Amino acid sequence: MGATFRSNRRIVLAISACCLLGVLPTLSAAQEPVKAFDQLSTRLKVGDTVWVTDAQGREVKGRIRELGPSALTLDSADTTTLDADAVRLVAQRKGHPVGRGALYGLIGGAAAGVILGATGVVSCEDCANSSSGKDALRAGLALGAVGAGLGAVIGAARPGKEVVVYRAPGASGSARLSLAPVITPRTKGVAVSFSF
């Protein structure tokens, strides 16, 4: 019994370590925005969807139709061509793939199931010839499937992250001041929010 427990414990520890390594997101160095408009072609290509902020602060979303060293043409509600000197900021929104969420959910659910099954928290008392190894496998498969489903749903629901691809020289980051009235039976006031 002691040898089986030690063996199961090693298996649980090895699986747990692998799961933790798989779940931890890899840290990637953030790319700085390009400083020259003619360098946009190193980061973007025709067909990419971008959000462009012009010199007046208006934002236009569109798919790149043409990308040249001095102008950018977007397909949006209508075709819009912006000269390089009129563009202050170009950004993309990177989505969160459903597959990545499902993978993280699968790994986390399977790890939890294996640990619960191996430690005896979840067991199959009605099964003939049940062992903690089989219980760990069954629990890992079941909770892994549940985790994959939940991870896929969460991955699909998360909004994409905005990545600034180009910022014109001298253009600062976007700063916003928001004011909103707050009126309740007990409170009257203004909510102030400042972001940059």
Clarify whether residues 148 and 175 are in a common domain: no
Can you name the residues that pair with 79 across neighbouring β-strands? 75
Mean pLDDT across the chain, nearest whole number? 75
Clarify whether residues 149 and 64 are in a common domain: no
Section 166-177 average pLDDT: 70
CATH number for the domain harbouring residue 167: 2.30.30.100
Clarify whether residues 165 and 117 are in a common domain: no
32 in a domain, yes or no?
Answer: no
Of 161 and 12, the one with more pLDDT:
161
Q: Give the contacts of 52 (CB within 8 A, at least 6 positions apart).
A: 59, 60, 61, 62, 72, 74, 82, 87, 89, 90, 91
- In this model, does residue 109 exceed pLDDT 50? yes
Q: Give the contacts of 93 (CB within 8 A, at least 6 positions apart).
A: 49, 51, 159, 160, 161, 162, 163
Clarify whether residues 136 and 177 are in a common domain: no
Give the number of domains in the chain.
Answer: 2
Can you name the residues that pair with 94 across neighbouring β-strands? 161
Clarify whether residues 101 and 71 are in a common domain: no
- Residue 176, judged by CB atoms within 10 A of its CB (0-12, 13-18, 19+), counts as exposed
Q: Give the phi and the psi of residue 166 in degrees, each rounded to 5.
A: -140, 135
Q: What is the pLDDT of residues 3-39, one digit of tens each?
A: 444 555 666 565 555 555 544 443 343 578 888 888 8
**Helices 98-118 and 132-157, interaxial angle, to 10°?**
150
Q: In this structure, are strands 79-83 and 59-67 parallel, antiparallel, or unpaired?
A: unpaired
Of 99 and 14, the one with more pLDDT:
99
147 in a domain, yes or no?
Answer: yes
Long-range contacts of 20-29 (CB under 8 A, 24+ apart): 20/111, 22/103, 22/104, 22/107, 23/104, 23/107, 23/108, 23/111
**SS3 at position 57:** coil
Token readout for 147 is 């985790």
Residue 128 structural domain = 2-27+96-157
Q: Give the contacts of 70 (CB within 8 A, at least 6 positions apart).
A: 37, 38, 83, 84
- In this model, does residue 140 exceed pLDDT 70? yes
